[in-house]
Amino acid sequence: MTTTRRSLLAGAALAAGLALTPAFGQSPTEIELFFPVPVDGQLARDMATMIKEFNEGHPAIKVTPVYTGSYDETLIKTRAAMKAGKPPAVSIMSANFLRDLQIENEIQPLDALIKADGKSNDQFMGQFFPALYGNAVLDRSVYGVPFHNSTPLLYINAEHFKEAGLDPENPPKTWAEFAAAAAKLTRREGDRTTRWGIAIPSQYDTGGWLLQALTYSNGGRWFNVDYAGEVYYDEPSTLGALTFWSDLVKSKVLQPGVQQGGAVTTAFLSGQASMMLNSTGSLTFVRGNAKFPLKVAFVPRNLQNQVPIGGASLVIPTGVEGERRQAAWTLINWMTSPEKSGWWSRATGYFAPNMQAYQLPEMKVFLGKNPDAKVAVDQLAYARPWFATYKTVPVRKAIEDELAQVLSGKKSPKEALVAAQKNADEIMKPYVEQTALKLPSN
Amino acid sequence: MADTIMAGQVASAWRPAIRWPRRTTLVAFGLLTPSLVLLALFTYWPIIQLAWQSLHGQQKVGTAPVFTGLKSFAALFADPAFRKALVNNLIYAFGTVLPSLVLALGFALALARSNRINTALRSLFFLPVLLPLVAAASIFLFLFLPNVGLLDYYLGKLALSGPNWLGDPDVALWSIMALTIWKNAGYYMLFFLAGLQSIPADANEAAILDGANPWQRLRYITVPYLKPTIGFVLVIGLTNVVTQVDHVFVLTKGGPADATNMLLFYVYQQAVENYEPGRAAAGSLVMLGLLLALTAASLRTLERSFGEPET
Amino acid sequence: MSVSNREISPKLGYGATLLVAALWAVPFLWMLVAAFNPESTGAGMASLVPAYVPSLANFAEAWGLADFPRYGLNTTIISLGILAVQFVTITLAGYAFARIDFPGRTLCFYLFLLQLMLAPVALIVPNLVTIASLGLYDTLLGVMAPYFASAFGTFLMRQAFRAIPRELEEAALIDGASIWQRIRLIYLPLAKPSLIAFAIVSVTSHWNEFLWPLMVINSPDLRPLTVGLATFTRGAEGAQAWGVIAAGTLIVSAPLILAFALFQRVFVNSFVSSGIK
């Protein structure tokens, strides 16, 4: 069905180009889309293909896809371009940057555009998984449209499981089973560990995300979803999560020190680690490169199944007006439609934020062949928003720096959390003073 | 200081021998104009903007900045991450420039004679200079990879296990320094190869006749003659290592726990991630001041240890 | 005693240099071995002894990920364009500093020195604003412009010019040669080694630059090689395809390495006789 429509459109465009010279004297609205490449280079090519298709179907708009490096570099480039008075019409932003960008007035609310389409905000957001609202709807206004999203997953090497006498069809569900499996899977030669039971990325960004996941699984709240000036670092639920993580190092089933995402994936793929916690965003790459039967499962729980979402949203920077804004909106709606959303999901491993994507026949066929992709979607029932506060990155770094010290054996979990809370509060103080503590008189 | 750097062997030619026409000043500035216009646009104007930014800050979130005096500088020095970055940067700068310098001098001395093998070896040492720093960092990311990477693979063959090269706060900075030394030593070698040519052959021959051993000749002849080169390489080296952090982006992002944070990376964090343009500008200015001080100090030390500069 | 010392120490030094050379070669060796590996991830990527049938799969994959010929052309235009303008600016400024005694010379010299110490990253935002207001955003000229003046090059030329005997210029002056003629016919030919040395330094640094072109360029047609390379070395989350990274790095650096291999005698000799010291 899709193919037919696509070739029809292409055919029409071609015919128009050959014979009619369309939109005489009217040049198309030119807009740019800034996009980071989340996993590997193949996706940069996929993005180009997708935009080409959009341009063919929309002769009045010409979108240029601009590759902008990592998520961080995309943020630098977007901000620099805005300062230079050349904001891109659309940017794909890490979903947890949105709160900051909104506080600093750097992205615009999309409410008016939604209204012009005859929808209410609730109707518009209704097409997406509810877990995604918290990072897209800020102060009741829609600031971002979810494009590709993730949750953390437990990846297991089924071969190692069998070898260690564990059942790969029945992956660890609780922290106790998780730690026990990790111990059974670890291999040592004398003092040297030749295979780690578990690998968990703990570098900046991912470290905070996964500690949030463990804290959620431990019944915690991590941050105040409704107010940008509060985090819950020094709380029993967080202490339990951090202590659990640090105990994995102490019992020598997890390598000490900080581990980078790439290193973790490589260790897992080469059989040097039997399990890993990692983003669904890596799923397609891992599935394509694993030389062993792969299984994925929910993040193990202590008190409850609950994880934060991750991924990125489409935003329109402040200063994009008129025709360019309208064109940006057309592009955003097209990219987040069930069809495109589903296609991108299959290419990357991210889940499709648009729920309708999972009703399409091609998606059903895909999930039939790759049941692991369904796990991430099922876990969404237990997902909550991603960490986002006033000055998200430094507030997150406050706990990630402490996490690094705990994993390197330099601090106890309790000391670390007290320090993290103090630093985070210090960073958020100016905001708190101007909001929650700004009281009438005096 | 600048004059010391440039003091060449022909310093004696530095005398006004020609009666220049009156318009000389005009001519000089005419010749300097293209450079000065460009420098004004892309160097001085940004510095002025940095200075302005460092003295202004937001009074309220999301509002226009107002004059805040030296508040940004106070906040800067009160920030433990900044102090950490400052210390790291000093360790990193001297810990990479000095070893690179010694290695480069060693390479140059060993490979001074041009023959086929030496030419090949010189090329080998120069190869890292030709790689983009981002790409070199990606390669080293693999070398340092825990368990599966090159280092751990070969250590494993010896039944040893390495540290978590980039993930242990006590080790990460040294790992990054190894990359920097590998990347830069060959570059400095070229300068020393050039400098060695300026040593008169008879100076060495006379010393040999006097019974000086190679170390004595190195200490009393080669090094003093190379003093201007050493000064030059010190300045270039210090400037290079402080102003290049592409590899930090790739390898550690300043972590773990700020163990590899450096001034320029800190400036980037403040400007982009922390939304603190004032503090970022203050940090840039401190970095600029530090570079000027470092280069001046290293040149002065050099003069003191090897006698008066030849000007 | 002194004779044996003279024999042994240099030999020891040479031996040590050979050892260090072996160490220096390791990353390159790994790059080669990994690039021709039929695989790109997983176990066995670390071995320096190839245990596989060489394959061009990684090169094919890397080549397909970016329009390398086009990016190579852009990088060449950027590097050579910067160099061409720099030759003019540094020659003129170098001559002024080397041969003309004018008030404010020292101050001017220190002002130039500042540029040597300022990191482009620290100046990205103001420079981007300037570039945009000059209408150069998203153009190759915009990538090049901030580098047209070079403190380093000016220093080099000043030094080279000072090494040239004044008598030559005096004679030309008597013959009525203009300042342009004197620079073109006397100074430039004699300063050729310095120009070549500077060319190496300038081209390698701009060939390899990443962040600034990433900021200025939007159009895919104008990307330089490093930005193309980054599409697969800098994935934001998770996985890395090591073999493809190695192959891509080789593709990007090959032109420069090749040029250096071909002309290295000229390069090294220029450095040696440029009087950089």
Confidence at residue C171, expressed as pLDDT on a 0 to 100 scale? 87
Share of chain B above pLDDT 70, in %: 88
The alpha-carbon gap from B163 to the nearest alpha carbon of chain A, in Å, equals: 9
Neighbours of chain A (3+ CB pairs under 8 A): B, C
Confidence at residue C140, expressed as pLDDT on a 0 to 100 scale? 96
C157 contacts chain B (CB < 8 A): no
Binary contact (A68, C129; C-beta < 8 A): no
Confidence at residue C239, expressed as pLDDT on a 0 to 100 scale? 56
What is the ipTM, given to two decimal places?
A: 0.84
**Average pLDDT rounded to a whole number, residues C109-125:** 76
**Average pLDDT rounded to a whole number, residues B191-198:** 82
Confidence at residue A260, expressed as pLDDT on a 0 to 100 scale? 87
Question: Coil, strand or helix: which one is C5?
Answer: helix
Tokens of C198: 């500077």
The predicted-structure confidence for C208-262, as pLDDT tens digits, reads as follows 888 889 889 888 889 998 888 877 666 544 457 888 888 988 988 888 888 887 8
Residue B17 pLDDT class (50, 70, 90 cuts)? very low
Residue C155 pLDDT class (50, 70, 90 cuts)? confident
**Average pLDDT rounded to a whole number, residues B5-26:** 50
Confidence at residue B6, expressed as pLDDT on a 0 to 100 scale? 40
Tell me which of B134, B180, B197, B229 to substitute to probe the interface with C (most C C-beta atoms closer than 10 Å).
B134
Share of chain B above pLDDT 90, in %: 30
Confidence at residue A15, expressed as pLDDT on a 0 to 100 scale? 44
Whether the pLDDT of residue B311 is over 50: the answer is no
Binary contact (C242, A291; C-beta < 8 A): no
Cβ neighbours of A295 (radius 10 Å): 19
Binary contact (B156, A203; C-beta < 8 A): no
The alpha-carbon gap from C63 to the nearest alpha carbon of chain B, in Å, equals: 16
Contact A40, C241 (CB under 8 A): yes
B-chain residue closest to A192, CA distance: B161
- Rounded Cα distance between C166 and C183, Å, is 12
A11 contacts chain B (CB < 8 A): no
Residues in chain A, overall count:
442
Confidence at residue A247, expressed as pLDDT on a 0 to 100 scale? 97
Whether the pLDDT of residue B3 is over 70: the answer is no
Residues of A within 8 A of C41 (CB-CB) are 265-266, 269-270, 289
Phi (first) and psi of residue A138, to 5 degrees: -120, 130
The alpha-carbon gap from C46 to the nearest alpha carbon of chain B, in Å, equals: 5
Tokens of A219: 């019944």
Between positions 41 and 100 of A, the ones with CB within 8 A of B are: 72, 75-76, 79, 100
Share of chain C above pLDDT 70, in %: 88
- Rounded Cα distance between C115 and C96, Å, is 18
**Average pLDDT rounded to a whole number, residues B138-160:** 88
Q: Higher model confidence: residue C172 or residue B173?
A: B173
Binary contact (C261, B226; C-beta < 8 A): no
The predicted-structure confidence for B238-258, as pLDDT tens digits, reads as follows 888 888 888 898 888 898 999
**Which DSSP string corresponds to A370-406?**
-HHHHHHHHHGGGEEPPP--TTHHHHHHHHHHHHHHH
Out of A121-130, B193-202, C145-154, C215-224, pick the least confident: B193-202
Confidence at residue B309, expressed as pLDDT on a 0 to 100 scale? 38
The alpha-carbon gap from A82 to the nearest alpha carbon of chain C, in Å, equals: 9
Binary contact (C268, B119; C-beta < 8 A): yes
- From the list B230, B202, B214, B245, the residue with the least C-alpha distance to B295 is B230
Q: Which residues pair with A67 in a beta bridge?
A: A35
Between positions 148 and 167 of B, the ones with CB within 8 A of A are: 148-149, 156, 159-161, 163-164, 166-167
Closest partner CB to A80 (pick from C40, C43, C124): C124
- Rounded Cα distance between B263 and B261, Å, is 7
Q: Higher model confidence: residue A210 or residue C179?
A: A210
Between positions 5 and 64 of C, the ones with CB within 8 A of B are: 5-6, 9-10, 13-14, 16-18, 20-21, 24-28, 30-31, 34, 43, 45-48
Give the torsion sign (CA, B197, B200, B205, B210): negative
The alpha-carbon gap from B106 to the nearest alpha carbon of chain A, in Å, equals: 36
The alpha-carbon gap from A18 to the nearest alpha carbon of chain B, in Å, equals: 44
User: What's the predicted TM-score (pTM) here?
Assistant: 0.87
Tell me which of C39, C209, C277 to substitute to probe the interface with B (most B C-beta atoms closer than 10 Å).
C277
- Rounded Cα distance between B80 and B91, Å, is 17
Residue C274 pLDDT class (50, 70, 90 cuts)? low
Tell me which of A31, A46, A66, A67 to substitute to probe the interface with C (most C C-beta atoms closer than 10 Å).
A67
Radius of gyration of chain C, Cα coordinates, nearest whole angstrom: 24
C64 contacts chain A (CB < 8 A): yes
Binary contact (C129, A71; C-beta < 8 A): no
The predicted-structure confidence for B279-306, as pLDDT tens digits, reads as follows 988 998 998 888 888 877 777 777 666 6
Between positions 252 and 271 of A, the ones with CB within 8 A of B are: 255-260, 262-263, 266-267, 270
Binary contact (B17, C154; C-beta < 8 A): no
Binary contact (C166, B17; C-beta < 8 A): yes
Q: Which helix (H) or strand (E) holds A163?
A: helix A158-163
Confidence at residue B82, expressed as pLDDT on a 0 to 100 scale? 94
Q: Higher model confidence: residue A412 or residue C106?
A: A412
The alpha-carbon gap from A260 to the nearest alpha carbon of chain B, in Å, equals: 8
Residue B7 pLDDT class (50, 70, 90 cuts)? very low
Contact A349, A280 (CB under 8 A): yes
Residues of B within 8 A of A267 (CB-CB) are 145-148
Burial group, residue A408, by CB count within 10 angstroms (0-12, 13-18, 19+): buried
Residues of C within 8 A of A68 (CB-CB) are 214
Confidence at residue A200, expressed as pLDDT on a 0 to 100 scale? 96
Residues in Cβ contact with B83 at an 8 Å cutoff, skipping those fewer than 6 apart: B77
Residue B84 pLDDT class (50, 70, 90 cuts)? very high
- Rounded Cα distance between A75 and A62, Å, is 23
Binary contact (B256, A430; C-beta < 8 A): no
Residues of A within 8 A of B274 (CB-CB) are 391, 393-394
Question: Coil, strand or helix: which one is A271?
Answer: coil
**Average pLDDT rounded to a whole number, residues C1-13:** 58
Confidence at residue A243, expressed as pLDDT on a 0 to 100 scale? 98
Binary contact (B147, A191; C-beta < 8 A): no
**Average pLDDT rounded to a whole number, residues B159-183:** 92
Whether the pLDDT of residue B116 is over 80: the answer is yes
The alpha-carbon gap from A198 to the nearest alpha carbon of chain C, in Å, equals: 16
pLDDT < 70 stretches in chain A: 1-26, 38-41, 442
User: Would you give the DSSP letter of residue B10?
Assistant: T
Binary contact (B147, A255; C-beta < 8 A): yes
Judging by DSSP bridges, how do beta strands A137-138 and A141-142 pair with one another?
antiparallel
- From the list A283, A334, A336, the residue with the least C-alpha distance to A129 is A336
Closest partner CB to A291 (pick from C40, C42, C45): C42
The alpha-carbon gap from A227 to the nearest alpha carbon of chain B, in Å, equals: 15
Residues in Cβ contact with A229 at an 8 Å cutoff, skipping those fewer than 6 apart: A389, A390, A428, A431, A432, A435, A436
The predicted-structure confidence for C37-56, as pLDDT tens digits, reads as follows 887 776 678 888 888 888 89
Return mean pLDDT, chain B: 83
The predicted-structure confidence for B31-70, as pLDDT tens digits, reads as follows 999 999 999 999 899 989 889 988 988 766 666 778 888 8
Confidence at residue A415, expressed as pLDDT on a 0 to 100 scale? 96
Residue with tokens 């070549």: C196
A–B interface: beta-carbon pairs under 8 A: 116
